[in-house]
């Protein structure tokens, strides 16, 4: 009996030891699962204040494990260009969201780069190439229209069908999908190959740390947003100074300030006698805030956070008293 109990005890110890060894041999799971494509897409659509639609971001690959990953993505957006007197195309704006455009000059100042940076000149050269190709195609179609129908049909049969992406032009990270000219301006729809670095913040949410286009250096997103907001604050202050100056001209002539409860209503009273500028929207794409009585006024931008009476508000230095 005693021998039997000893054997059972030994068996239990052996099983426990084997179980412990087995546990040690099983590889431990990563602290965090790899970032899903849907979660990566969601984080990228909100990066740097963008409001991109879901279908504007196509995730190609997610690499890395734990709390830091790298995401390769294609971003669909558009650029507005102006044609100079010499016929050269210059990028002036980039689409940042639904009916939201950011000025290239503002971005280059925030990044402390020249507007002749290789990425910009690359896009401008690609646009010129695309525009020239479209011009040649239009001339060819016009010529074919004037040819006898039999000859035109015979030429079409000889030509093989172009591939699905034959209309696209690529250079570096840019692919131009379409070109829509209007007088001396144009809008180009593009796809941009982009790399992002993401990690989890203190609340467990994925956020974009850095971004990279083509062969350019990694850009710190937080630093970029901070610099861009500073440039926008400077622009907002200039807008507010212009409106305040017009308000003072209004008061000098009429003896009181314009009474209104919005910047839109204010501009209607000031333009065009006291200012030729139409200033309604701040650099963060929100209406300027204005409340005015005959004796005083308050004129401000709600700043980056879009909330009234917070530390980032940009307030006119010439507010009426």
Buried b (16+ CB within 10 A) or exposed e, 153-175: eeeeeeeeeeeeeeeebeebbbb
The whole-number average pLDDT for the span 124-146 is 89
Instruction: Cite the DSSP H helix spans in the chain.
Output: 2-25, 37-45, 104-111, 118-146, 149-158, 221-254, 263-270
- Comparing 168 with 174, the larger pLDDT belongs to 174
Q: How far is CA 132 from the centre of its chain?
A: 28
pLDDT tens, position by position, 251-284: 999 999 999 999 999 999 999 999 999 999 999 9
**Confidence band for 312, pLDDT divided at 50, 70 and 90:** very high
pLDDT of amino acid 148: 67
**Paired residues of 193 in beta bridges:** 74
pLDDT at 141 over 90: no
pLDDT of amino acid 20: 34
pLDDT of amino acid 149: 58
Q: At what angle do helices 104-111 and 221-254 cross, to 10 degrees?
A: 120
Q: How far are the Cα atoms of 233, 241, 300, 302 from residue 237, in angstroms, in the given order? A: 6, 6, 9, 12
Q: Which of 15-29, 60-74, 81-95 has the lowest mean pLDDT?
A: 15-29
pLDDT of amino acid 92: 97
Closest alpha carbon to 112 in 237, 239, 220: 220
Structure tokens at 317: 């230095």
pLDDT tens, position by position, 144-172: 877 765 555 555 555 555 454 557 889 88
Structure tokens at 150: 């039999």
pLDDT of amino acid 10: 44
Closest alpha carbon to 284 in 316, 262, 306, 317: 306
Query: Hunting for tokens 């995730």 — which residue is that?
Result: 59
Distance CA 267, CA 241 (A): 14
């Amino acid at each position: 009996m005693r021998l039997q109990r000893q054997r059972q005890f030994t068996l239990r110890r052996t099983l426990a030891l084997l179980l412990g060894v087995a546990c040690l041999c099983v590889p431990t799971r990563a602290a965090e699962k790899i970032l899903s494509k849907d979660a990566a897409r969601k984080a990228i659509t909100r990066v740097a204040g963008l409001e991109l639609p879901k279908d504007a971001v196509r995730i190609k690959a997610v690499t890395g494990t734990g709390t830091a990953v790298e995401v390769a993505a294609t971003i669909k957006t558009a650029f507005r260009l102006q044609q100079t007197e010499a016929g050269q195309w210059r990028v002036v704006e980039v689409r940042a969201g639904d009916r939201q455009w950011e000025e290239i000059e503002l971005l280059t100042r925030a990044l402390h780069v020249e507007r002749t940076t290789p990425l910009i000149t690359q896009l401008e050269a690609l646009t010129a190439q695309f525009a020239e190709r479209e011009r040649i195609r239009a001339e060819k179609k016009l010529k074919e229209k004037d040819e006898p129908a039999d000859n035109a049909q015979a030429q079409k049969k000889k030509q093989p069908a172009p591939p699905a992406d034959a209309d696209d032009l690529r250079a570096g990270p840019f692919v131009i999908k379409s070109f829509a000219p209007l007088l001396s301006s144009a809008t180009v729809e593009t796809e941009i190959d982009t790399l992002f670095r993401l990690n989890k913040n203190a609340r467990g949410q994925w956020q974009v740390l850095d971004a990279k286009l083509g062969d350019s250096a990694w850009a710190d997103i937080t630093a970029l947003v901070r610099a861009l907001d500073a440039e926008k604050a400077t622009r907002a202050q200039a807008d507010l100074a212009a409106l305040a100056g017009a308000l003072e001209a209004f008061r000098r002539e009429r003896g009181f300030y314009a009474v209104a409860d919005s910047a839109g209503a204010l501009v209607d009273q000031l333009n065009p006698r006291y200012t030729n500028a139409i200033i309604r929207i701040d650099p963060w794409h929100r209406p300027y805030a204005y409340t005015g009585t005959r004796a005083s006024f308050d004129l401000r931008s709600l700043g980056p956070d879009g909330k009234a009476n917070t530390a980032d508000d940009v307030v006119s230095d010439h507010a009426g008293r």
